[in-house]
Amino acid sequence: MQNFTFHNPTRIHFGRGQIRRIDREIPADARVMLAFGGGSIKTNGVHEQVRAALGNRHVVEFGGIEANPDVATVERAIALVRAEKVDFLLAVGGGSVLDGVKLVAAAALLDVDPWAVVLGNVKPSKVLPIGSVMTLPATGSEMNGFSVISRRATEEKRSFGSPLLFPQFSILDPETTFSLPPRQIANGVVDAFVHVIEQYLTYPADAPLQDRFAEGILQTLVEIGPKTLADPTDYDARATFVWSATLALNGLIAAGVPEDWATHSIGHELTALHGLDHGQTLAVVLPALLDHQRDSKRAKLIQFAERLWGIREGSDAARIAAGIARMRAFFESMGVPTRLSDYGLTAAVAPVVAHRLAERGAVALGERKDVTPAAVEAILTQ
């Protein structure tokens, strides 16, 4: 097992009716920005519950944070925070709203271009406090210090993080997710699944407990993913999906083991360039990447095939191929296609993505730093 530091200070309130907890979590004299996305919270009752819980506090609303939040939107939010002297940020929505709010929190107190924070050129030493009401399970942002921000102007999508950016609290009420469209649920299941894979399917590190926790999340997603897609108001299935998505990326299963994240890096480029949903990019890249990396990931690929899919027969190569095929079939069964051509793209994107990553120095991705630009090109050309 590798050495590690684990610290996750976010308080989670999980379950029906938990939105009212906001009242105890935010100071009574706070000046709150209530940030949200496209406005669905105004039709599904969430906005009403949140405003009721906020009571008489001074509240400024900021709507319109888009999927893959744009730094230009964040800049407008920061201007409002400053003008209104906001001192508490409440994100109500999915991972995109919260990720946008995290950049507001990190940059509002600094006199710099927010994009410099995203690039890691400026590290915040003090941030605005954040709370969240998560209505879309997928990114895990509700219980970690990471954020992914896009810059439409230059077709870029980048991630950053800080231990200061854990939400102080996050409220997860599965009922608030009942009205989500199937496509977002399907993408969310794929996203959570791939988060686990990025921290699990690398090389053995003598960490059997971390492996079992990771496999436990994967098994659970395979079991309840189709169920919660088919029956969105089955509370227990949805609750299990929501909690699985949170635990998939809250630092726990990464503690003491190597991590990959090449699939995410490549996927972000496909979203930035061609507008694919995040989950769609992962469903395309991961099967191809695992096949390309089948030698360096051999031991864990065999374990994955056996423990997740029950594949115990055949040669190593056959079991590995069968495990990857089962995973691809799972994504497809959730309604998320796994080939570039399904999205109207061709292998022509491969050299472009490889070049963009190389250009900014991302020339050695993956847990062994062996996913070179040439490998990226090969993966996207499969």
Q: Which residues bind a second copy (CB under 8 A)?
A: 1-18, 21, 206-209, 212-213, 215-217, 219-220, 223-224, 235-236, 239-240, 243-244, 247, 252, 255-256
Question: Nearer to a second copy by C-beta: 8 or 381?
Answer: 8
Rounded to a whole number of angstroms, the minimum distance from the CB of residue 308 to a second copy is 12
- State the Cα–Cα distance between residues 302 and 300, nearest whole angstrom: 5
Question: Nearer to a second copy by C-beta: 2 or 341?
Answer: 2
Rounded to a whole number of angstroms, the minimum distance from the CB of residue 125 to a second copy is 16
Residues with Cβ within 8 Å of 218's Cβ and at least 6 positions away in sequence, in order, are: 193, 196, 197, 200, 308
Secondary structure of residue 207 in the 3-state scheme: coil
Residues with Cβ within 8 Å of 264's Cβ and at least 6 positions away in sequence, in order, are: 159, 194, 198, 282
Rounded to a whole number of angstroms, the minimum distance from the CB of residue 265 to a second copy is 27
DSSP string, 221-254: HHHHHHHHHH-TT-HHHHHHHHHHHHHTTSSTTT
Question: Nearer to a second copy by C-beta: 48 or 236?
Answer: 236
Neighbours of 15 (CB within 10 A): 14
Rounded to a whole number of angstroms, the minimum distance from the CB of residue 349 to a second copy is 36
Rounded to a whole number of angstroms, the minimum distance from the CB of residue 293 to a second copy is 24
Secondary structure of residue 116 in the 3-state scheme: helix
Find the length of the chain: 382
Give yes or no for a contact between 97 and 65, defined as CB atoms under 8 angstroms apart: yes
Question: Nearer to a second copy by C-beta: 10 or 281?
Answer: 10
Question: Nearer to a second copy by C-beta: 1 or 52?
Answer: 1
Question: Nearer to a second copy by C-beta: 82 or 123?
Answer: 123
CA nearest neighbour of 100 among 177, 165, 163: 165
Question: Nearer to a second copy by C-beta: 1 or 116?
Answer: 1
Name the residue type at position 312: R
Rounded to a whole number of angstroms, the minimum distance from the CB of residue 158 to a second copy is 27
Give yes or no for a contact between 34 and 97, defined as CB atoms under 8 angstroms apart: no
Rounded to a whole number of angstroms, the minimum distance from the CB of residue 48 to a second copy is 20
Give the tokens for residue 266: 């490549």
